[in-house]
Structure 1
Amino acid sequence: MSRHVIAVRNLEDARDGRLVIGERDLVTPLAAEEATARGIRIERAGEQRAAPPAAPAPAVQGPSPDGDALTNIVRSVIASVLAKDGGDTANGEGRAGQVKLCRQSEAVLEDFPFAGPGPDQQVQAVDVVTSEDGPLAAGYLTLTAGTFPWTLTYDEVQVVLEGELHIGTDSGVRVGRAGDVLYVPKGSAITFGTPSWAKFVYVTFPSNWAEGR
């Protein structure tokens, strides 16, 4: 049985104040909070409608109390880089004054377009800062339980927003939790993984790293 991640956008599928999901589906903390705010009851397939109201199904680990502040910090870092004086991307510099604001609530994640994740692991991502903006790329990535191998042809920083991000290396596993920052240098052969669920912001240099894959 496949497993899906229920995000805020999926709440639009609710009918009569109810959203029925699969038994193994995972609800993000943001979706659970939004469902409560909208008065939507999230039910797993097989539940009796007459059953007492239950709290929205939580993710394995909720967001950090400082999640909003952390997101703002990430936005500020990206904005400060893009706002530096300079020419175009080809020269490795951002465009002066062209500050780009990326809101997490507006980011629509799609299935990971590269090989690696197994059939039972759901990985989704979206770039919100690209090579059209400057020398850095940035975006959001989520993954469910499992691991997959990855070799970096670029430098990357990950800022964990929710859950646990496990980075496997030759010398052991680095575990990042909400609020933690990890740096993976160019040339590293690692594994991305989580025992349950993880969401993080990635910032890469150079921004056009995918062209070499």
Structure 2
Amino acid sequence: MTTEKTLPRVMRFGDLAFQPREEKPEMAQLAEIVGEQDGTPLSAGYARLSNARIEWTVLYDEVVTVMEGSIKIHTPQGVLQAGPLDCIWLPAGTPLIYEAESALIHYCLHPSNWASARTAA
């Protein structure tokens, strides 16, 4: 992670470039708005989910806010369902399945360097 933070800025939703997620690119496209490259331990962005069923164990603390559509997140404690403007809290280490027919979500996670920390381990 850089030691100096980038300057404040506005990110216009219409200017964001959604990129296919490495795993399951047909189900999820991501647009990061802030992260490790900005010198911050916070990461945030948007994800579009289409006919998605993605199994994962979160390696970071995450908050998911549904902007459009709906999402189900299957956890060992049960199924968490959320619609527009609902939020879901997911602590690091939670095994889950993200499931959505069609949804636009906003996510915030910490730490932003979870992927590089994982490969360094």
Runs of 4+ in structure 1 off by over 3 angstroms are: none
**Does structure 2 conserve the Cα–Cα contact (< 8 Å) formed by 1:152 and 1:185?**
yes
Does structure 1 residue 180 correspond to structure 2 residue 86? Answer: yes
How far apart are the structure 1 equivalents of 2:57 and 2:9? 29
Point out the structure with the larger strand share: 2
Does structure 1 residue 122 correspond to structure 2 residue 31? Answer: no
Q: Which has the higher contact order (CA 8 A, sep 6+)?
A: 2
Q: Where do residues 187-202 of structure 1 align in structure 2 (5 Å cutoff)?
A: 187-194=93-100, 196-202=101-107
Residue 168 of structure 1: how far off its partner (Å) = 0.6
Tell me, which stretches of 5 or more residues in structure 1 are unaligned?
1-87
Q: Where do residues 13-52 of structure 1 align in structure 2 (5 Å cutoff)?
A: none
What residue is the counterpart of 1:105 in the other structure?
14
| Bigger Rg, structure 1 or 2 | 1
Q: 1:107 to 1:170 in 2, by over 3 A?
A: same
Point out the structure with the larger helix share: 1
Task: Quote the RMSD (CA, aligned, Å).
Answer: 2.2
Q: Where do residues 6-85 of structure 1 align in structure 2 (5 Å cutoff)?
A: none
TM-score by length of 1: 0.50
SS in 1 for 2:88: strand
Give the letter aligned to residue 102 of structure 1.
M
Residue 126 of structure 1: how far off its partner (Å) = 1.8
How far apart are the structure 2 equivalents of 1:154 and 1:129? 15
User: What is the percent sequence identity of the aligned residues?
Assistant: 30
| Cα deviations by residue, 1:87-131 (Å, 9 ceiling, x for unpaired) | x866xxx84x93232221111111111x3x3x8x52111211011
**Does structure 2 conserve the Cα–Cα contact (< 8 Å) formed by 1:141 and 1:200?**
yes
Give the letter aligned to residue 15 of structure 2.
E
The total of aligned residue pairs comes to 117
Q: Where do residues 95-174 of structure 1 align in structure 2 (5 Å cutoff)?
A: 95=5, 98-113=7-22, 115=23, 117=24, 121-133=26-38, 134-174=40-80
Tell me, which stretches of 5 or more residues in structure 2 are unaligned?
none
TM-score by length of 2: 0.85
| Cα deviations by residue, 1:9-47 (Å, 9 ceiling, x for unpaired) | xxxxxxxxxxxxxxxxxxxxxxxxxxxxxxxxxxxxxxx
**Does structure 1 conserve the Cα–Cα contact (< 8 Å) formed by 2:28 and 2:52?**
no
